[in-house]
Amino acid sequence: MKRIMIRVAYDGTDFHGWQYQPETRTVEGELNRAIKELTGEEIRVIGASRTDAGVHALGNVAVFDTDSTIPPERFWIALNTRLPEDVKVVASRETDMDFHPRKTEVRKTYEYRIYNSDIPNPLKRCDYWTVPYVLDTEKMREAAAYLVGTHDFATFCSVHTQAESTVRTIYDIKIIGGNNNEVIILVTGNGFLYNMIRIIAGTLVEVGRGSREPSWVSEILEGTDRTLGGPTAPPQGLCLMEIDYGDKV
């Protein structure tokens, strides 16, 4: 028995998110099925990020245990022949039997993609949020700076229980603009609350379009209350880019 770690890329458009649900098309469901077809083993993969419906990934991570003799570094190729076009495994290797992708310290990087134009672009509809207002990326940068560091991000969380901590650390936020009407928000942190990046994106757009001043973000962060924050940006702009476990696995 060994534990295999895979990196997974998917177009979230036609999935009801990552997490397995019977009778519903999910990324985990497709992976479980493909692994069963390949190895004959009944397996449920353990995912690092259980992304929502419509959210994409280029670098989600999952693990599963197998007795298969397929070389771990070749697993991804064998799995891809059994996976549909909208989900593919992009790397595989053996990892420690006690490695758990959600219980290990991590740096996650998400990209939130905005197509900033008042003219619709059908080729951007599935992986961008189209924002028709002129965005001031300098003001968005100024606002984003308040979010970097360790804070209680309760303002940027849709649903949470009292028992659960809403403290997280954001290491970096980059706002990349000026390219083909695109504004990219790149966020790296040690973990994110439910809808956190999408609320950050919705909040930064409020600032970028001039509805709010950058300092407003500092105020609402201190308020630790979801009702203070900006709207939740739509799922299709969000893409999980990378999960970095450093040298821990």
Return the active site residues.
Answer: 52
> Is residue 52 near a second copy by the rule CB under 8 A?
no
Q: b/e for 137-147, b at 16 or more Cβ within 10 A?
A: bebbbbbbebb
Can you give the three-state secondary structure of 2-45, one letter per residue?
EEEEEEEEECHHHCCCCCCCCCCCCHHHHHHHHHHHHHCCCCCC
Per CB under 8 A, 86 contacts a second copy = yes
Per the rule left: phi > 0, alpha: psi between -120 and 50, beta: everything else, 123 is alpha
Is residue 246 at the binding interface for a second copy, with CB under 8 A as the rule?
Answer: no
Give min distance, CB of 25 to a second copy, in A: 14
The answer to the question of residue 80 lying near a second copy (CB under 8 A) is yes
**Helix 196-208 crosses helix 215-223 at what angle (to 10 degrees)?**
150
Q: Which is nearer to a second copy, 187 or 239 (CB)?
A: 239
Among 121, 150, 165, 215, interactor with a second copy by CB under 8 A:
121
What are φ and ψ of residue 136, in 5° steps? -95, 100
Q: Is 115 in the site for a second copy (CB under 8 A)?
A: no
The reply on whether position 241 binds a second copy by CB under 8 A is no
- Can you tell me whether residue 84 is helix, strand or coil? coil
Q: Please check whether residue 47 is in contact with residue 101, taking contact to mean a CB–CB distance below 8 angstroms.
A: yes
- The C-alpha torsion from 34 through 40 and 42 to 46, rounded to 10°, is -50
Q: Toward a second copy, which CB reaches closer, 19 or 80?
A: 80
Q: How far apart, in whole angstroms, are the C-alpha atoms of residue 31 and residue 62?
A: 10
Which of 88, 107, 160, 209 forms a contact with a second copy (CB under 8 A)? 88
24 near a second copy (CB under 8 A): no
By CB under 8 A, tell whether 120 contacts a second copy: yes
**x/- track of binding to a second copy for residues 149-188 (CB under 8 A):** ----------------------------------------
Is 58 one of the binding residues for a second copy (CB under 8 A)? yes
Nearer to a second copy, 26 or 166 (CB): 26
Q: Which stretch binds a second copy (CB under 8 A): 7-15, 164-172, 200-208, 212-220?
A: 7-15
Among 10, 146, 153, 156, binds a second copy (CB under 8 A): 10
Is beta strand 167-179 parallel, antiparallel or unpaired with respect to 182-189?
A: antiparallel
Supply the minimum distance, in Å, between the C-beta of residue 156 and a second copy. 25
Measured CA to CA, the distance from residue 237 to residue 119 in angstroms comes to: 17
Which parts of this chain interact with a second copy (CB under 8 A)?
9-11, 56, 58, 80, 85-88, 90-91, 119-123, 125, 127, 239
